[in-house]
Amino acid sequence: MSVATAPPVRIQPATLADIPTIVALAEATWEPTYRFIISKEQIEYMYRVIYTPASLQRQMAEQGHTFLLVYVEEQPAGFASYSAKAPAGHYHLNKIYVLPTHQGLGLGQQLVGAVEVAVRTAGGHTLELNVNRHNPALNFYEHLGFQRQREEDIAIGPYWMNDYVMQKAL
């Protein structure tokens, strides 16, 4: 009788050199994540604003976003990013995406766990995120202990993101 073992998973901080990997992962995850939530035009507009190499470089180099990459069997399978925010001790989970082919393997949970460890190590005590009010990921975040704090509507160009702000004490 053979026992199935989970493939080796590695999570590591991304560098500017990893931007092409993040772009490739975003290309594979962005549209499937949002196609049933927002319009195709809004998906394309937001993708162009957030995931160009120049925008990712600004996020990393100027806006203080730390990106983590998750690898399965040495292949990139997803990413997360987080950053400090006011007041002191508060951090924001900016992004978390796992390839559709790798969802359901616990990688998202591992990425959030790695962000939580990094935030606690940096002296943080609260992790916050925004999630579209119609995103099925709401259940995922609630399962991980995040609680809805308020609704927030954010203009992105001519479009609106209709979010919940969720928070978790660490």
List pLDDT tens digits, range 55-112: 999 999 999 999 999 999 999 999 999 999 999 999 999 999 999 999 999 999 999 9
Beta strands 147-156; 126-132: pairing state: unpaired
Chain centre distance of CA 17: 19
CB 170 within 8 A of CB 146: no
**Interatomic CA distance for residues 24 and 98, integer angstroms:** 12
Structure tokens, 8 = 């080796």
Give the three-state DSSP class for 8: coil
For the chain, the first-to-last Cα distance in angstroms comes to 41
The predicted structure's pLDDT at residue 4: 55
pLDDT band at 34 (very low <50, low <70, confident <90, very high): confident
Q: Are the beta carbons of 12 and 68 closer than 8 angstroms?
A: yes
Q: Alpha-carbon torsion 82, 85, 88, 91, what sign?
A: negative
Question: Residue 139: pLDDT band by 50, 70, 90 thresholds?
Answer: very high
pLDDT on residue 6: 66
Residue 18 has pLDDT above 70, yes or no: yes
pLDDT of residue 5: 62
Is residue 119 within 8 Å of 127, Cβ to Cβ? yes
Closest CA to 14 of 140, 115, 104: 115
Q: Does 1 have pLDDT greater than 70?
A: no
Number of Cβ within 10 Å of residue 144's Cβ equals 15
Q: How confident is the model at residue 30 (pLDDT cuts 50, 70, 90)?
A: confident
pLDDT of the residue at 87: 94
Query: E strands along the chain, which residues?
Result: 9-13, 66-72, 75-85, 90-98, 126-132, 147-156, 159-169
Is-cis flag, bond preceding 87, omega within 30?
A: yes
